[in-house]
């Protein structure tokens, strides 16, 4: 296992529910990412946080709301989701140091099913 953990691993929710995904990295990194992976599309970058500030938001619907309270934790708050939001949500972290060769480390993902 990598130094990035995600909870829960599986989540089933109705369209009117509110839930949150949690990610924690134990690697001392200063950047964290949310990706969506679905059967129809390759990995889609959703959000990037660098030093706890959001630096990227790839036109993600407002029903997804990220939160990064510190450099080790990242949340994805979910509300009024649609069935097409069912996917594997992956969290990753990396060290931003001005060098482009630092790889990202991924968590195991949360498998989300929206009914």
Chain residues that interact with another protein, rule: CB under 8 A: 2, 4, 6, 31, 42-43, 45, 48, 50, 55-56, 90, 92, 94, 96, 100-109, 111
Q: Residue 44 or residue 79: which is nearer to another protein going by CB?
A: 44
CB-CB contact of 66 with 34 (8 Å): yes
Q: With respect to another protein, which residue has the nearer C-beta, 7 or 102?
A: 102
Length of the chain (residues): 115
Q: How far is the CB of 61 from another protein (least distance, A)?
A: 20
Question: For residue 111, what are the contacts with CB-CB under 8 A and spacing of at least 6?
Answer: 9, 10, 11, 88
Measured from the CB of residue 73, what is the shortest distance to another protein in angstroms?
17
Cα 48 to Cα 28: distance, rounded to the nearest angstrom = 16
């Amino acid at each position: 296992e990598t130094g990035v953990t995600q909870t829960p691993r599986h989540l089933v929710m109705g369209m009117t529910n509110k839930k949150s995904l949690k990610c924690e990295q134990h690697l001392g990194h200063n950047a964290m990412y949310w990706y969506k992976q679905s059967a129809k599309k390759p990995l889609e970058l959703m959000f990037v946080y660098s030093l706890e500030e959001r630096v990227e938001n790839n036109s993600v619907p407002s029903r997804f709301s990220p939160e990064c309270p510190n450099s080790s934790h990242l949340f994805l708050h979910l509300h009024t989701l649609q069935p097409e939001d069912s996917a594997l949500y992956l969290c990753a972290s990396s060290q931003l140091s001005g060098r482009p060769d630092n790889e990202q480390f991924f968590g195991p993902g949360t498998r989300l099913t929206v009914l």
